[in-house]
Amino acid sequence: MSKPLHVLVVDDSAVVREAMTAVLAGGDGITVATAPNPIVARRRMALKRPDVIVLDLDMPEEDGLTFLRAQMAQDPIPVVICSSHSVQGSRAALQALHDGAVEVVAKPRIGVREFVQESKIILLDAIRGAAEARLRKRGAVIPAPAPRAVVPSAVAPLSGASSRRVIAIAASTGGPQALHEVLAALPADTPGIVVVQHMPAGFTAAFAKHLDERCEISVREAEAGDEVQDGLALIAPGGRHLSLKRSRSGFAAVITDGDLVSRHRPSADVLFRSVAEQVGGEALGVVLTGMGDDGAEGLVAMKAAGAATVAQDEATCVVYGMPKEAALRGAIDVVLPLSQVPDCIMRWTKKRLRERNLTGDEQ
């Protein structure tokens, strides 16, 4: 049994507070307190400090971002954002992740008083993951990185060329910031990238756009039939599985629904297994920060198929779950601090290119 947790739900909707309480109170060892706004939340916290806060962002008395920033500066407590699917809600959730929140879950639809079983699994896992997160005090609010200026390159990138090598990346708790650090450091001619970030439906399009504006490579939410291309990262759409299949020119995205796999949809195991089957030794698997074991068995399959594999190290993970589980299964070739992962990707790219040139294989 997991350790007991005390969760504080801060939301101005009585319906949401009731639904969250019903779901969370059914979790082993979880106690729940609620507050309709940050003012009441602070009074509740003075009586009993929560292990995790589930926080709404749009509240009339004091907005959630203001509360989050103050809390992170004074007494960091893991925060799971409960946000709407709207464009404004998605952007606010991304800002909250930048400001110190560790997870985002979708706000239940209006009128929904009971979560379906898989929604309960996702919410409980998000809270368990948040409870394990390593936090630090935040000083003055640092604005999210601004969109990069578009500067013409002296060398035309290979964007648009079908990629014969594939980089598959998975992340969960703490992943949005880790992915930003990795993808923003990669050059425009990087081989095609496919990404699973555990995130609910309605948020990944805004997340992909946020990354696209800040990276040399192009980033977008994957759609069925999208070709894996050099200089392009495809993000699995929230709430749907992403896998690859061979196409006439290389590899194409397959988007499916279906059950949770390894307690997630999208699932890293689904992506990694398809990469093992379709790409084999021309692939690199990367697992970043996150709770649970999603991706571990998929990386075992990738390594068995001849792919190289990399994991983020414990010291730089927000939650050392997914990388640890993959390493315990013998699926990881090298473990690196997050800051060294981009260089590792670039070294692998150059190595594979040299090997293909030596053997005379077509690039």
**End-to-end distance of the chain based on CA atoms, in angstroms?**
51
With contact defined as beta carbons under 8 Å apart, do 302 and 270 qualify?
Answer: no
Whole-angstrom distance, CA of residue 344 vs CA of residue 190? 12
Whole-angstrom distance, CA of residue 188 vs CA of residue 217? 5
Q: Is the dihedral of CA 221, 224, 230, 235 positive or negative?
A: positive
SS3 for 122?
A: helix
361 is catalytic: no
Phi-psi domain of 295 (left: phi exceeds 0; alpha: psi -120 through 50; beta: other): left
The angle, 0 to 180 degrees and rounded to 10, between the axes of the packed helices 175-184 and 341-359 is 50
CB atoms within 10 A of CB 22: 14
98 is catalytic: no
With contact defined as beta carbons under 8 Å apart, do 55 and 101 qualify?
Answer: yes
CB atoms within 10 A of CB 308: 21
The one catalytic residue in 90, 163, 172, 243 is 172
**If you ran DSSP here, which 8-state letter would residue 163 be given?**
P
For 120, residues 6+ apart whose C-beta sits below 8 A from its C-beta are 23, 26
DSSP per-residue string spanning 177-189: HHHHHHHHTS-TT
267 is catalytic: no
The one catalytic residue in 11, 189, 212, 294 is 294
Nearest to 7 by CA among 37, 43, 39, 32: 32
The one catalytic residue in 180, 198, 241, 264 is 198
Q: Which residues are catalytic, by number?
A: 172, 198, 294
